[in-house]
Amino acid sequence: MKTDFCESLVKQLIDSGIPGRNIAVEITERRQLANLAEARSRLLCLADAGIDIKIDDAGTGFGGFSYVQELPVSTLKIDKMFVDTLRTEGDAKRPVLDAIIHFARASGLSTIAEGVETNQQVDYLVKAGVHAIQGYVYSRPMSAEKLVSWMKEHEMETPGIITGSR
């Protein structure tokens, strides 16, 4: 009855004619990856279809980062918990944020900061090399229709940008 997540996703992509590069899958490390070999083979299945794989809530789990290098992962998503440390000076978790960013750069991984709420946070993150920003500073989650109209509005407000250029 149940089918494999990867196989069913790939089949749906083929059926709808959508290339795999339009899709990314975020896996959370909140639960430990008990069977690394199993996880690896499943993620390779996705990667083979051109699907990008991102680690969600990076740094909040128990596994550390050692496993990341064994998995076909392209991006670390930095959890709001660490982005929040930019609100207060001398926050104890700030070094962890810096360490995650440093680790990502050293490992050739991209980064996305989640839960970004202020322009000050954006400035800090951009300076630190985290260019991809997600959070209320730009928009809350919204429906697909809203996203389309938000895009138009956003393009008008920031002339000259080409969406999806990267």
Partner 1 sequence: MVFGKGKARRGCLDPVFSVQRSISSRPMRRLSATDMPATLAASTCVLVFAMCFFSLGSMTRYLASRALKRQTNVLARGLREAVTGTRHELEQLPPIEALNCPNGTSDVLAQRAFDNPYVRWIGIRQAGEMICRSGLVNRDPGPSAHVHPIDDVWSVELVDDKPGVVYVIQRRGNVEYIAIPETMLFDFESSIDCPQCVTYQVDVQQPDFQVKLGDWNRVVLHQTEEAIVGRTRAKLTVGVLQRYIDQLQFEGRILAAGMSAIVALTLSFMLYGLLMRQTSVASLMRQGLQQNEFLPYYQPIVDGRDGSVLGAEAVARWYRRGKMVPPGQFVPFAEENGLITPITEQIVKKVLKDLEHLGGWARIAISASMPNLIRS
Does 8 sit near partner 1 (CB under 8 A)?
A: yes
92 to each of 6, 81, 95, 97, how far by Cα in Å? 39, 12, 7, 10
Beta-carbon contacts of 14 under 8 Å, excluding residues fewer than 6 positions away, are none
Q: Which of 67, 84, 96, 117 binds partner 1 (CB under 8 A)?
A: 117
What SS3 class is residue 4? coil
DSSP, res 20: G
Give the span between the Cα atoms of 116 and 119, in whole angstroms.
Answer: 8
Does 132 sit near partner 1 (CB under 8 A)?
A: yes
Q: Across the strands, what pairs with 76?
A: 55, 111
Does 62 sit near partner 1 (CB under 8 A)?
A: no
Stretch that binds partner 1, among 48-56, 64-72, 85-93, 95-103 (CB under 8 A): 48-56
Does 38 sit near partner 1 (CB under 8 A)?
A: yes
Closest approach, Cβ 76 to partner 1, in A, equals: 13
Closest approach, Cβ 106 to partner 1, in A, equals: 21
Instruction: Decide: residue 84, CB within 10 A, 0-12 exposed, 13-18 middle, 19+ buried.
Output: middle
Using CB under 8 A as the criterion, which residues of the chain lie in contact with partner 1 when the complex forms?
A: 2-6, 8-9, 12-13, 16, 18-19, 21-28, 30-31, 33, 35, 38-39, 42-43, 52, 54, 56, 112, 117-119, 122, 125-126, 130-144, 147-148, 150-151, 153-154, 157-166
